[in-house]
Chain A
Amino acid sequence: MRNKNIILCGVGGQGTILASKLMAAAAMKRGMEVKTAETIGMAQRGGSVFSHVRLGEGLQSPMIAPGKADIILGFEPAETLRHLPFLRRGGTVVASTSPILPTSALIGQASYPLEDILRHLREHTEKLTLVDSETAASALGSAKVLNVLLLGAAVRTGALGLTIEDIREALREKVPARFHELNEKALMYTEEKRTS
């Protein structure tokens, strides 16, 4: 298998770190080398955050160069677009369409051009899966499992080289038992939407 370069991006508090941990655990079970790097510290207080995840063999840097990511998991539209230069030609994007407005936009000091952002993503990404995470949150009864939901959608694109079963197994190991049911529902959410 070719090495996989994965970028997760979003807003501090959205759960990007757990998603990268689950991927890492699943890949290690498959005997792959794993290196990751992520935002820890001040930016976690609602700032832009990212995780770089590299799976495969002979890995050196934990960070991914622009134009070299196989897949971007975007937890928030503006953050997805901010990280788009990392995507390789023909790469895959799985992204939430629900914006989180920074304070500057809320108090009218900056604009948030959601329609332009989504249009750009549609026009410049061949392999694009968009998830309406607000609808998903009300269907699942929680907004806290967007990370696992996007991970499920990403696995289904085939771009990760991991299976749903790999992630499910990692979930059961890494997440407290009382959250298993909710997380497994989130993992299957995009599948059920596709079949229903």
Chain B
Amino acid sequence: MHKEFLMGNEAIALGSIAAGVKLVAGYPGTPSTEVLETVAKRNPGDIYVEWSVNEKAAMEVAAGAAYSGARAMVTMKQVGLNVASDPLMSLEYVGVKGGMVVMVADDPGPISSQTEQDTRTFAMFSKVPLFDPVSVAEAYEMIQEAFDFSEKYHTPVFFRCTTRVDHGYEAIEVKDEAEYRKVEMEGFVKDSSRWVIFPRLSLKNHGQIEKRNRELTAVLSAYPRNAMHREKGRYEGGSGGKGIVTHGISYMYALDSMEKEHHVRILKVATPFPFPEELALRFLEGLEEVLCIEELDPVLERALLEICGRHHLQVRIRGKLTGDIAAAGENTMLSVGRAIRFFLGLEEEQPAEPADIPLPVRPPVLCAGCPHRASFYAVKQAMKGKKTIYCGDIGCYTLGNAMPLDMCDTCLCMGAGINIAQGVGHLDKGMKCFAFVGDSTFFAAGLTGVVNAFYNQADMTLIVLDNSTTAMTGHQPHPGTGRTVMGQVVEKVSIEKVLRAIGVATVETVNPLDFAEARDTVKRVSEEPGVKAVIFRSPCIAVTKPAASSAVHAETCIGCKKCIREIGCPALVLREGKAYIDPSLCTGCTLCEQICPTGAIGGGKKNEE
């Protein structure tokens, strides 16, 4: 063992390596991405790692490995689980041979997601057991136990964290390479009565799964990470008949909010499904009132209500359903501390009042020099005065919605923009319908939408924003980049060729940083009938080095602020009434040079590739 300062996701990766994982597949998504990246980085050499084209592919690739008797892991964010839900629902019926962990990162807040969905609820729906750690240190140990558990019960298991565990850092003890588990793999053994799902097999296995999950409530009651502080420690006793049930990072907030004299009985739930019922019954004994402190859905609260109902217990269960804990949003030290004090009948602590000064909000923005800004601006100028809809999608380019660009009218989920544009267009023939999709999203979820549009005779312009990387999640490779996470150089999948093969007749590729050319291309292409595409190709500024930044000639600048007003680049600010370019931010994209009415900006240069 040795000590390392690790991010939660890094600890999960190292834990899975120590557990003998042999295949890891996933699709990037905050806050899950670093798990797979760390496995690739710290690979002892015998682990196959891939960024799959999407979460469904990743789930199926991992299932194949687990069918073969190897330990496998699949990683994704919570909304990615929706994409992978089709294989997972059936996989639970079929089961696995090698241990298989489905690592899902939930995002209370939400901080960088479309939904506040709770994978614990998904666990109940899919009948897949779920592990939910409270800290980085526990995540490292628990992921190893999850593999053992999966293998023992021949079921995939969820390993679910939330942002504050995924992205928290802690110095923890980790195993040396010599201590890693060595797992012999048998390879795939033909057995169609096991691996081929048919209604008869589903019925038989369904019954067994329900029976197993009922039995697991007792097994998991003895799992030491489902724990009650009762006999000793700070929370001895249970005076006042009050108890707290909690999980994940909220457990840590609760401990930090508690003072020695509180004497509250605490139940920490590591496996909300199957729920450790026997343990919960012991916890409830003699209690009058319980506060459930949890994030996202009231999963623990409902489980306790059910237990109290089944066993005719007169315990008042409080939590989200009673308004004691907020129904939506992330728990914080402040919210948990307040809820506990209120529950215990203690006086509320008054935190310092925020200053009575209106502070500007600071949402994320497209980076200085981001090629997406130029692409959006080109389309906006090309379509001036026309009736348009701009359907956006998931990625950095969702930020094109902000003023002054204001170029994202809809955003729903990965790949949705392409189909939404069709739906709008079928009913409003006078509308110019545009769908913007990034290169990684195009491969992950855009292809079927384009086929649908072409087949069903839609009239729309597809704009592919190809910056040659998965930028939002930290620059992962994808099928169009010609690189894999294992470092191999492979043949690129060409977006042009794919579109042409589908039947899209007009596919034009243009550099968005050449403003006039980009604008004129959009004008021309959008006039064509049917489905047509413009690919804006320019690499993400974070993966290319700037050559020379642009500068404003103060004498020529007339202070009209057109550059600032129209493109909203963070490198462009106003100084003494004139535009000024922050050289530490400017990447030399020259978009501002091209739109300045007096030619006052110059000197910018992009690096030639």
Given contacts A61-B253, A107-B403, A120-B357, contact A42 B169 (CB under 8 A): no
A182 CB within 8 Å of chain B? no
Q: Are A109 and B396 in contact (CB under 8 A)?
A: no
Assess whether B169 is in contact with A67, with CB atoms less than 8 Å apart.
no
Q: Give B157 Cβ to nearest chain A Cβ, in Å.
A: 25
Residues from 83 to 109 in A contacting B, C-beta threshold 8 Å: 84-85, 87, 101-107, 109
Evaluate contact between A101 and B573: CB separation under 8 angstroms: yes
A161 interfacial by beta-carbon distance below 8 Å: no
A85 touching B472, Cβ below 8 Å = no
B125, chain A: closest CB distance, angstroms? 27
Known: A35-B168, A65-B333, A85-B353. A106 touches B573 (CB 8 A): yes
Asked whether A65 lies within 8 Å of B337 as measured between CB atoms, the reply is yes
> 1/0 per residue A107-124: CB within 8 Å of B?
101111100110010001
Q: Which of B17-25, B364-372, B374-382, B409-417 contacts A (4 or more CB under 8 A)?
A: B364-372
Contact (Cβ within 8 A) B5 A45:
no
Q: How far is the CB of B233 from chain A (nearest CB, A)?
A: 13
| Residues B144-186 near A (CB distance < 8 A) | 164, 167-171
Most buried by A among B253, B359, B367: B359
B171 with A63: CB separation less than 8 A: no
Docked-complex contact A37 and B333, CB < 8 angstroms: no
User: What's the count of A-B pairs with C-beta under 8 Å?
Assistant: 159
Q: Which residues of the other chain, A, contact B333 by a CB distance below 8 angstroms? A: 61, 63-66, 68
B219 in the interface (beta carbon within 8 A) = no
Asked whether B346 is an interface residue with its Cβ less than 8 Å from the other chain, the reply is: no
* A-contacting residues, B371-400, CB 8 Å: 396, 399
Q: How large is the interface on B (under 10, 10 to 19, 20 to 34, 35 or more residues)?
A: 35 or more
A79 at the interface (CB under 8 A from B): yes
Let me know if B168 and A111 touch, CB within 8 A.
no
Max chain B Cβ within 10 angstroms of own Cβ: one of A12, A63, A66: A63
Which A residues are CB-close (under 8 A) to B522?
none
Mark B347-371 against chain A: 1 for CB-CB distance below 8 A, else 0. Answer: 0010111110111111111110000
A37 touches B351 (CB 8 A): no
- Contact with A106, one of B337, B361, B574 (Cβ below 8 angstroms): B574
Q: Would you call A151 an interface residue if the criterion is a C-beta within 8 Å of the partner chain's C-beta atoms?
A: no
Contact A87:B352 (CB < 8 A) given known A41-B31, A61-B255, A107-B564: yes
Interfacial chain A residues near B30, Cβ < 8 Å = 40-42
Known interface pairs A34-B5, A63-B164; A11-B564 also in contact (CB < 8 Å): no
Q: Which listed residue, A37, A66, A111, A120, touches B355 by the CB 8 Å rule?
A: A120
Q: In the assembled complex, which residues on chain B have CB atoms less than 8 Å from the CB atom of A144?
A: 584
Contacting residues, chain B, for A103 (C-beta < 8 A): 365, 402-404, 568, 570
Bitwise, A63-83 to B at CB < 8 A (1) or not (0) is 111111000000000110110
Interface centre among A33, A41, A82 (most CB of B within 10 A): A41
Cβ < 8 Å to B, chain A residues 24-55: 24-25, 28, 33-48
Range of interface residues on chain A?
35 or more
B170–A46 touching, CB < 8 Å: no
Q: Would you call B354 and A84 a contact (CB within 8 A)?
A: yes
Q: Which listed residue (B167, B252, B367) contacts A46, Cβ 8 A?
A: B367
- Asked if B361 contacts A104 (CB within 8 A), the reply is yes
Closest to A121 in B: B355
A24, A41, A111, A117: the one contacting B111 at CB < 8 Å is A41
Task: Please determine whether A85 and B357 come into contact, CB atoms closer than 8 angstroms.
Answer: no
Chain B proximity of A54: nearest CB distance (Å): 10
Contacts of B82 in A (CB 8 A): none
Q: Determine if B357 and A117 form an interchain contact, defined as CB atoms under 8 angstroms apart.
A: yes
Query: How far is A110 from B568 in the complex, measured between Cα atoms in Å?
Result: 14
Q: Let me know if B256 and A60 touch, CB within 8 A.
A: yes
Interface string of B306-344 (1 = CB under 8 A from A): 000000000000000000000000001110010000000
Contact (A37, B5) CB under 8 Å given A45-B367, A82-B359, A102-B361: no
B164–A85 touching, CB < 8 Å: no
A118 to chain B, nearest CB (A): 10
A67 touches B360 (CB 8 A): no
Say how far A148's CB is from chain B's closest CB, in angstroms.
15
CA–CA, A156 to B381, complex, Å?
53
- Rounded to whole angstroms, the CA-CA distance of A48 and B588 in the bound complex is 25
B537-579 Cβ-contact flags toward A at 8 Å (1 or 0): 0000000000000000000000000001100101011100000
The 8 closest A-B pairs by CB, nearest first: A65-B333, A47-B364, A41-B30, A45-B364, A66-B351, A61-B252, A110-B360, A41-B112
In the complex, besides A12-B364, A38-B167, A42-B472, 20 extra interface pairs with C-beta distance below 8 angstroms are A35-B169, A37-B169, A39-B111, A45-B365, A46-B570, A63-B333, A64-B333, A65-B333, A67-B349, A67-B351, A78-B362, A81-B355, A84-B355, A85-B352, A85-B354, A87-B352, A106-B564, A106-B574, A107-B404, A116-B357
- 10 chain-A/chain-B pairs, Cβ below 8 angstroms: A36-B168, A38-B167, A41-B30, A47-B364, A85-B353, A101-B573, A102-B362, A103-B402, A111-B360, A120-B357
